[in-house]
Amino acid sequence: MSRIRHFSDSQAALFAHDEVPEDAGPEAKGQPSYIRDHRARLRERFLVGGADALPDYEMLELVLFRAIPRRDVKPLARELLEVFGDFNAVLSAPASRLAEVKGVGDAVICELKIIEAAAHRLAQSRVMKKPVLSSWAALLEYCQTSMAHRDIEQFRVLFLDRKNVLIADELQARGTVDHVPVYPREVVKRALELNATAMILVHNHPSGDPTPSEADIVVTEQIQAAAEALGIVIHDHLIIGKSSEISFRSEGLL
């Protein structure tokens, strides 16, 4: 333990051992020294340098350590990245697709989904109950975190009060890989129920290309017409792609 004495006792304990489930078999009780040493080095690099010090596959290894306590997880980390593309895509992948990868069981899926849920909650905490128009970068980050890697289209509505504070973020509809049914009357009805005076519409394009379709433009016009009739403002409609987004307001479409 001499090389990590500069950490606190609680941090150093991370390097000493991995947790072993009480019902683990004899093969899980002993951990080869090369695996133990590799994990210690990786954790040390993360604690010293943060996430920027590690490539995607090593970040993924850190997540997999707890799910697979006594086996080298590097091959599985690389396989997941090969299948899904990048770290974020692995976390966002549906459980059913993750389970198709050899070596991925319930424990791995659970760990990945815990990290995904934590990321969503953290991003949401930066915008919920806050004036979103003055926190636009945080809003875009939240939308990217929540929707960029979904494999089906989702349509969300962010409801705002008179001070443009985000009071609710609700999933209105789920669709297919290239279509989601949206009913303008239901969107406006929900705004009235929440006493919202403004809305931001958000949906994703699983293809990765955020370019609006003709259907996107038409449904936005329909929602805007229904909202304006009741004095509700549509601030924007955001389309979220894999690595970028398009704003209807910025594009002159709203």
Q: In whole angstroms, what is the distance from residue 196 CA to residue 200 CA?
A: 11
Give pLDDT, residue 175: 67
Q: Report the amino acid identity of residue 103.
A: G
Residue at which a domain ends, from 121, 150, 171? 121
Give pLDDT, residue 222: 93
CA distances from 203 to 87, 110, 114 (A): 22, 26, 23
Same domain (yes/no): 154, 189: yes
Specify the pTM: 0.67
Residue at which a domain ends, from 121, 153, 185? 121
Same domain (yes/no): 237, 131: yes
Domain that holds residue 93: 8-121
Asked if residue 254 belongs to a domain, the reply is: no
We report the CATH number of the domain holding residue 172 as 3.40.140.10
Give pLDDT, residue 113: 92
Per the structure block, which two tokens stand in for 200? 């931001």
Same domain (yes/no): 182, 199: yes
Same domain (yes/no): 135, 243: yes
Same domain (yes/no): 135, 211: yes
Q: In whole angstroms, what is the distance from residue 237 CA to residue 21 CA?
A: 47
Same domain (yes/no): 113, 26: yes
Same domain (yes/no): 87, 171: no
Same domain (yes/no): 130, 218: yes
Asked if residue 49 belongs to a domain, the reply is: yes
Q: In whole angstroms, what is the distance from residue 98 CA to residue 120 CA?
A: 19
Same domain (yes/no): 48, 132: no
Same domain (yes/no): 183, 204: yes
Q: For residue 125, how far is the Cα from the chain centroid?
A: 13
Please count the structural domains in the chain: 2
Q: Encode the chain (254 residues) as per-residue pLDDT tens digits.
A: 334 444 444 444 444 444 444 433 334 445 667 788 888 888 888 888 888 888 898 999 999 988 888 888 999 999 999 999 888 889 988 899 999 999 999 999 999 999 988 988 888 888 878 888 888 988 998 888 888 888 888 899 999 999 999 999 998 877 655 566 788 899 999 999 999 999 999 999 988 899 999 999 999 999 999 999 999 999 999 999 988 899 999 999 98
Same domain (yes/no): 131, 243: yes
157-167: buried (b, 16+ CB within 10 Å) or exposed (e) per residue?
Answer: bbbbbeebbbb
Residue 252 burial (10 A CB sphere; 0-12, 13-18, 19+): exposed
Asked if residue 45 belongs to a domain, the reply is: yes
